[in-house]
Structure 1
Amino acid sequence: MSTIQNKIAVITGGSRGLGRDMALRITERGLDVIITYNSNAEEALKVVELVKQQGRKAAALPLNVGDIKGFSSFRERLTEMLTTVFDTDHFDFLVNNAGIGGYQLIGEVTEDFFDELYNIHFKGVYFLTQELIPVLNDGGGIINVSSGLTRVTFPRSSAYAAMKGAIEVFTRYVAKEFGSRGIRANTIAPGAIMTDFGNAHLKNSEDSQKMVSSVTALGRPGVAEDIGGVVAFLCSEDARWVNGQRIEISGGMQL
């Protein structure tokens, strides 16, 4: 008797912050998850254990999303894990979440600073997607993480926001080119979120929190738990007709 294969989401940067909440909320939708981490294996394994406690399969793999030359070997390790742990050779959803903060005025941006953001936030996402689409199931989906900073402007965010703007354009092209396989591609754009991202600059600054609250319709900064549920929705059949969209999750920032 054949069994129904459970759907699997691969989430980059899933050991903390937004990625951690995405993994847990996706699990609530009945999916299995594979998360990646750059250096903190201990935190990644904690997330894996939390997922397993909810009765789903989970695993973690190391990945530096800024090291494009390492993507081929990552795909090999991923497919091996899919076979040995999940009894399949494909997965269903790719969530390109991993990233770093970077804030400099235009006049202070160096080429090295720019290139690091470029490799992690745009080039890495582009070529990791290219590498993994062959092992993504038809009818699956891709969720790319952008930023509210592509719509609103704050000084010191020009380089970071420009990379995220490129991601939004790329996502629409993915939706167009892979629609024939039933693969959907969407972007989420979180607003100001209180996590450890960007050296926890918002989380550690009451002044910044007050400023964000003052320009947000719902009157507060965001938290990680505001984001994961939207990603989980996009990894569900309920979102089967949502494609090529930018979904801002900011509480109504600077409306």
Structure 2
Amino acid sequence: MAASVPRTALVTGGSRGIGRAVVERLGSVGTVVAVHYGHDAAAAERAVAGVRAAGGRAFPVRTELGAPGAVDELARGVEEGLRLHTGSTGLDILVNNAGIGCRADIDSLTREQLDRALEINVKAPVFLTQRLLPLMRDGGRIVNISSVAPRVAHPHVLGYAMTKGALEAFSRSLAAQVGPRGITVNTVAPGLIETDLHRDRLRAHPEEAEEAAALTMFGRIGQADDVAGVVAFLASAQSRWITGQRVEATGGAYL
């Protein structure tokens, strides 16, 4: 009897924070995971090593999103790694998680800030998805990581909220196009999550941490694995009847 073909995934920004938690979740159920990273090779190797230590398979792929030719470079690295680990370039799951902040209000926002945020938070996932769709098997899963910011007014992250709103619009439109292939496209919108991006600031300003925890229904700040569980469900066969949706993972903040 022929061996079953393993499911495969690419997680962008997979070396740290929410991305790493998603990598570990997917790897724990036998998915072969391509772990994209931009700069921190050591963090990517730790993420890969964690999956392998648990009996799974993963490999790192370095690309600086936003740089010229980055999408093709990343796609080629994914293809090479999948071929090496599975004998095929077929992709089942794409998690567009990589992103950057854009902290500025309307008075201080610069053209350079907004261009950079649009390049990485919008253009990179759009054109990476375009490049990888021919590799994606029917019945595949695309999960885009957004934020609560497009729904709740945050004047000091105006540019960031705009980019995540654009990503959500992309998800809905894409879902309508790829639905006939059985591919689902959904958005996960976290609230404040205790990742490297926020941890030092929250420790330096405990009053901010207390306020953020009080906003949730559970009296605590979210953890990366809280979001990873939602992503893993949307990447699974059990989510086959859910597409074009925005799923908030905020612990009930801003209800």
Give the TM-score of the pair, scaled to structure 2. Answer: 0.95
CA–CA distance in structure 2, aligned partners of residues 223 and 120 of structure 1: 23
| Equivalent residue number for residue 128 of structure 2 | 128
Cα separation, partners in 2 of 1:169 and 1:20, compared to 1, 3 Å = same
| Equivalent residue number for residue 243 of structure 1 | 243
CA–CA distance in structure 2, aligned partners of residues 159 and 26 of structure 1: 31
2:107 is aligned with 1:137:
no
2:190 partner amino acid: P
Shifted more, 12-21 versus 62-71: the winner is: 62-71
| Equivalent residue number for residue 3 of structure 2 | 3
Q: How many residues are aligned here?
A: 255
| Equivalent residue number for residue 61 of structure 1 | 61
CA–CA distance in structure 2, aligned partners of residues 5 and 45 of structure 1: 25
What residue ranges of structure 1 are gaps of 5+ in the alignment? Answer: none
1:199 Cα deviation after fit: 7.8
SS class of match (1:241): coil
Cα separation, partners in 2 of 1:115 and 1:203, compared to 1, 3 Å = farther
CA–CA distance in structure 2, aligned partners of residues 201 and 173 of structure 1: 36
Cα separation, partners in 2 of 1:204 and 1:234, compared to 1, 3 Å = farther
2:15 is aligned with 1:15:
yes
Shifted more, 67-76 versus 121-130: the winner is: 67-76
Cα separation, partners in 2 of 1:155 and 1:202, compared to 1, 3 Å = farther
| Equivalent residue number for residue 156 of structure 2 | 156
Cα separation, partners in 2 of 1:122 and 1:199, compared to 1, 3 Å = farther
Is the Cα–Cα contact under 8 Å of residues 32 and 56 in structure 2 kept in the other structure? yes
Alignment of 1:49-198 (within 5 A): 49-67=49-67, 69-197=69-197
2:72 partner amino acid: S
Cα separation, partners in 2 of 1:29 and 1:233, compared to 1, 3 Å = farther
CA–CA distance in structure 1, aligned partners of residues 204 and 225 of structure 2: 18
1:149 Cα deviation after fit: 0.8
Cα deviations by residue, 1:176-211 (Å, 9 ceiling, x for unpaired)? 001111110000000011111268434542121122
Shifted more, 229-238 versus 183-192: the winner is: 229-238
CA–CA distance in structure 1, aligned partners of residues 199 and 68 of structure 2: 24
Is the Cα–Cα contact under 8 Å of residues 194 and 221 in structure 2 kept in the other structure? yes
| Equivalent residue number for residue 42 of structure 2 | 42
RMSD after superposition: 1.5
Give the TM-score of the pair, scaled to structure 1. Answer: 0.95
Cα deviations by residue, 1:205-228 (Å, 9 ceiling, x for unpaired)? 212112212322222221112111
Calculate percent identity across the aligned residue pairs: 38
CA–CA distance in structure 2, aligned partners of residues 196 and 226 of structure 1: 15
Alignment of 1:204-215 (within 5 A): 204-215=204-215
